[in-house]
Amino acid sequence: MRNKTKLPTMADVANLAGVSSMTVSRALKPDTSVSKSTREKIQKAADELGYVLDTRASEFSSGKSGFVAITIPSINNGNFADTVKAFSDGLAEQDLQVLLGYTNYHVDREEQLVEQLLKKRPEAIVVTGGMHTDRCRLLLENSGIPVIETWDVPEQPIDHVVGFSNLQASELMFEHFIAQGHKKIGFIGGDNSRDSRGRDRYLGFCNTMEKHGLSSERVSFQELAPFSMEPGASGIRSIMKEWPDTEAVMCVSDLIAYGAITECQRMGINVPDDVKIGGFGAYELGQFLNPSITTIDVGAAQIGKFAAEKIIELLSDDGNTKSAKIVKTEPTLIKRQSA
């Protein structure tokens, strides 16, 4: 019904205003040479018809799509949300829209998503991490547009990178534990096969332990469910049961850390006096909890901001200015009560 009603086109506006559609096209954009009187005439005609520009036609005709694509693992993750927000804010001035897709941490889903997004001819594409299927890599390489991998520093980047080393980031926490004199240190993580960033955080644990001649056996891997603290609780239970003298544990995320902390409280273990618990990600909530959570701030918003800046640079670029292929952000330790 409704959909059958044909919307007015530029030609309709042109007719009503008594000008050519080319003039309408110009009058509807700022900074074009149209006499004031014609412009007003056209504006009036457009308002009268309730005309709204069809950007599909406009973008198709001009060859630009006016948006950039970004894929993130999960929409329910405050960190990725921060990246996306900073990213879209950074692009807003450039009249670039952001098309967002989430992969649920699956590379296959990512491949499917990337193809879908590419079909819409974005002017650039941002993906999370450096782990892709072969076909996905190929699609990105052949896309003819700037590609930015984020949240990681892949060994073989496709094109550009804005990220940090998850390995080095997690080392910050363990060095912090060690600086406080602890030696019996543990780690609670998730399924590493699907999440290379989580894996790198674990590797950071192993590296630091090894460097200081400490054991890296105090580990618990849990099935991570979105927005659940249960894995943290199970993880700390299992670690404290097997190694009751554990002094400090880092969790792969703040939420897991919070789960571990509340479980400690339940078990009568004081955090941080008996055991120190560290998180990862610097979620907003962590500062309000009791105890507040010591964590690693990976600079999620910064990643989005830098990615946006890079894209603006690359798109305005004539191909001359060589922007740095790899931009690294600096994770920092946020010292709070829990560790």
Partner DNA sequence: TTGAAAGCGTTACCAA
Partner DNA sequence: TTGGTAACGCTTTCAA
Residues that bind its own copies (CB under 8 A): 1-5, 7, 50, 52-57, 59-60, 65, 75-76, 78, 81, 84-85, 97, 99-100, 115-116, 118-121, 123, 138-139, 142-146, 227, 229, 258-259, 262, 265, 284-285, 288, 290, 315, 317-319
- The residue behind tokens 């055991």 is 275
DSSP states of 103-160:
-TT-HHHHHHHHHHHHTT--S-EEEESS---HHHHHHHHTTSS-EEEESS--SS-SSE
Strand, coil or helix: what is 125?
Answer: strand
Tokens of 338: 């829990």
Q: How far is the CB of 284 from DNA (least distance, A)?
A: 41
The one of DNA, its own copies, none whose footprint includes residue 322, by CB under 5 to 8 A per kind, is none
Compare residues 100 and 178 and give the one whose CB is closer to its own copies. 100
The one of its own copies, DNA, none whose footprint includes residue 33, by CB under 5 to 8 A per kind, is DNA
Site string for DNA, 5-34 (x = CB under 7 A): -xx-xxx-------xxxxx-xx-xx---xx
122 burial via Cβ count (<10 Å: 0-12, 13-18, 19+): buried
Compare residues 30 and 244 and give the one whose CB is closer to DNA. 30
Compare residues 36 and 119 and give the one whose CB is closer to its own copies. 119
Q: How far is the CB of 169 from DNA (least distance, A)?
A: 42
CA count, 13 A, side-chain hemisphere, 14: 12
Question: Which stretches of 25-179 are assigned E, i.e. beta strand?
Answer: 67-72, 97-102, 125-128, 147-150, 160-163
14 burial via Cβ count (<10 Å: 0-12, 13-18, 19+): buried
Tokens of 156: 């073989």
The one of its own copies, DNA, none whose footprint includes residue 35, by CB under 5 to 8 A per kind, is DNA
The interface with DNA within residues 58-97 (CB under 7 A) comprises 58, 60-63
The interface with DNA within residues 143-202 (CB under 7 A) comprises none
Tokens of 273: 């006096």
Compare residues 124 and 219 and give the one whose CB is closer to its own copies. 124
Strand, coil or helix: what is 253?
Answer: coil
The verdict on 137 binding DNA (CB under 7 A) reads no
The one of DNA, its own copies, none whose footprint includes residue 142, by CB under 5 to 8 A per kind, is its own copies
Compare residues 95 and 155 and give the one whose CB is closer to DNA. 95
Q: How far apart are CA 231 and CA 220, in angstroms?
A: 10
CA distances from 91 to 137, 269, 332, 338 (A): 25, 48, 26, 37
Judged by the rule CB under 7 A, the positions of this chain that interact with DNA are: 6-7, 9-11, 19-23, 25-26, 28-29, 33-35, 37-39, 53-54, 57-58, 60-63
